[in-house]
Amino acid sequence: MANSLNFSPVIAGSMKWGKWGAHFNTTDYQRMIENCIEAGATTFDHADIYGNYSTEAEFGLAIKENPAIRNQVQLITKCGICMVAPNRPGHQIKHYNTSKEHIIESAERSLKNLHTDFIDLLLIHRPDALMDPGDIAEAFSQLKNSGKVLHFGVSNFNTSQTALLQSCFAVEVNQVEISILHTDPIYNGVLDQCIKEKIQPQSWSPLGGGILNGIADDERSRRIIAVAEILGEKYAAGFDQILLAWLMKHPAGITPVLGTTKAERIKAAILARSIDLSREEWYMLLRAATGHEVP
Ligand SMILES: NC(=O)c1ccc[n+]([C@@H]2O[C@H](COP(=O)([O-])OP(=O)(O)OC[C@H]3O[C@@H](n4cnc5c(N)ncnc54)[C@H](OP(=O)(O)O)[C@@H]3O)[C@@H](O)[C@H]2O)c1
């Protein structure tokens, strides 16, 4: 979609790079970041909470040790979820906080953790039942005017929640779960709204969080993988690349946020952009997912 974001066509998601997954050390982070950049994935997705509030700082150490990296990458992070964690002793229960004070404090902390002067994109991680769009707009405008955050968006927002915030400021991204296993945004208006309002849709768990990796033993996943493998032979591609090509064919311009800890999978995802499935092939995959033809 035409908007002013200059992000790579595949975004590298860091959620499983640290304590919530691979337990990368600083060298691992540096190698992964460099390999992603080399593959063409220059945009990295974070959230304050990843690794129980530790992954941003671990990634930031890699930037601190090689500051030249910063000019080659774009950094996304999120705020608004308050988890119960040892390093957040003030949190008694998991809750959301989209107050002006919390947004600004969280962004300041992310800047420090990531060893950067600016964040390319800040997202409200989840819709907060108590959110006041005017309050969020004030926080965003303060962060923008100080040059600390360049762009703003939301994550996991439905159409009316996005429209509510759009009435106060420009929502540039909605990061939601979209995959062949989770097609709701195609039908619930979220992608329609993205096209209409020029909001970039980013898909988290674009490969179903890895459950399509041959591990899943359910009928539906088997059907999807079988069709994707047949198409993979035609396009000389892996079934994972076919499933990403399926996502990227949507006219809303979905940018996958890939959660892999392996740079070669990022490279394969970038190459999947060149696979142009026919409409019939796209619908064959949809049929495999739903179990029936369209009406
Ligand atoms: N906004 C939100 O609320 C939200 C929620 C969840 C996630 N996210 C973001 O989205 C990113 C992706 O989420 P996810 O990890 O659930 O998504 P995913 O990319 O669908 O799944 C990644 C998992 O699948 C495995 N996998 C197996 N085959 C793969 C292949 N060919 N290519 C890529 N991965 C493969 C990976 O293992 P290997 O490491 O072994 O490759 C990894 O465990 C996260 O890192 C985070 O940045 C955002």
Q: Per-domain residue ranges for the chain?
A: 11-213+252-273
- Model pLDDT, residue 211: 75
Q: Within 10 Å of residue 38's Cβ, how many Cβ atoms?
A: 12
pLDDT digits (tens, 9 = 90+) for 133-143: 999 999 999 99
CA-based torsion, 241, 153, 286, 278: positive or negative = negative
- Whether 217 shows a pLDDT value over 80: the answer reads no
Residue type, 109: R
- Model pLDDT, residue 3: 59
For the residues 76-99, what does the mean pLDDT come to?
96
- Whether 121 shows a pLDDT value over 50: the answer reads yes
- CA 16–ligand 1 middle distance (angstroms): 7
For the residues 274-288, what does the mean pLDDT come to?
98
Consecutive H or E run containing 191 = helix 190-197
For 215, phi then psi, to 5°, come to: -85, -40
The SS3 call for residue 203 is strand
Q: Would you call 50 a catalytic residue per the annotation?
A: yes
For the residues 170-198, what does the mean pLDDT come to?
97
Whole-number Å distance between alpha carbons of 122 and 127: 14
- CA 185–ligand 1 middle distance (angstroms): 18
Residues at CB less than 6 angstroms from ligand 1: 13-16, 45, 125, 155-156, 175, 204-210, 213, 240, 257-262, 265
Q: Which of 29, 50, 53, 96 is catalytic?
A: 50
What is the CA 276 to chain-centroid distance, rounded? 22
Q: Which residues contact 262 (CB under 8 A, 6 or more apart)?
A: none
Name the residue of 46, 190, 260 to mutate for ligand 1: max ligand atoms within 8 A of Cβ. 260
Whole-number Å distance between alpha carbons of 49 and 15: 9
Could you tell me the pTM of the whole model?
Answer: 0.97
**DSSP structural state of residue 18:** S
Average pLDDT, the chain: 96
- Whether 1 shows a pLDDT value over 70: the answer reads no
Please give the number of the atom of ligand 1 that sits closest to the Cα of 261. Answer: 39
Please give the number of the atom of ligand 1 that sits closest to the Cα of 176. Answer: 1
222/280: higher pLDDT: 280
For the residues 38-57, what does the mean pLDDT come to?
98
Could you tell me the pLDDT band of residue 173, with boundaries at 50, 70 and 90?
A: very high
For the residues 91-105, what does the mean pLDDT come to?
97
- Provide the percentage of residues in the chain whose pLDDT is more than 70: 98
Whole-number Å distance between alpha carbons of 112 and 286: 43
**CATH (residue range 11-213+252-273):** 3.20.20.100
Could you tell me the pLDDT band of residue 264, with boundaries at 50, 70 and 90?
A: very high
- CA 14–ligand 1 middle distance (angstroms): 9
Whole-number Å distance between alpha carbons of 217 and 211: 9
Residue type, 291: G
For the residues 80-94, what does the mean pLDDT come to?
95
89/2: higher pLDDT: 89
Q: What is the dihedral of CA 241, 77, 211, 33, to 10 degrees?
A: 50
- Whether 216 shows a pLDDT value over 70: the answer reads no
List 177's β-bridge partners, or say none.
Answer: 204
**Looking at the chain, how many residues does it have?**
295
- Whether 210 shows a pLDDT value over 80: the answer reads no
For the residues 191-201, what does the mean pLDDT come to?
98
- Model pLDDT, residue 283: 98
Could you tell me the pLDDT band of residue 212, with boundaries at 50, 70 and 90?
A: confident
Q: Which residues contact 90 (CB under 8 A, 6 or more apart)?
A: none
275/4: higher pLDDT: 275
For the residues 161-181, what does the mean pLDDT come to?
97
Q: Which of 295, 285, 294, 293 is nearest to 220 (CA)?
A: 285
Q: Which residues contact 99 (CB under 8 A, 6 or more apart)?
A: 132, 135, 139
- Model pLDDT, residue 2: 44
Structure tokens at 237: 């591609």
Name the residue of 15, 254, 267 to mutate for ligand 1: max ligand atoms within 8 A of Cβ. 15
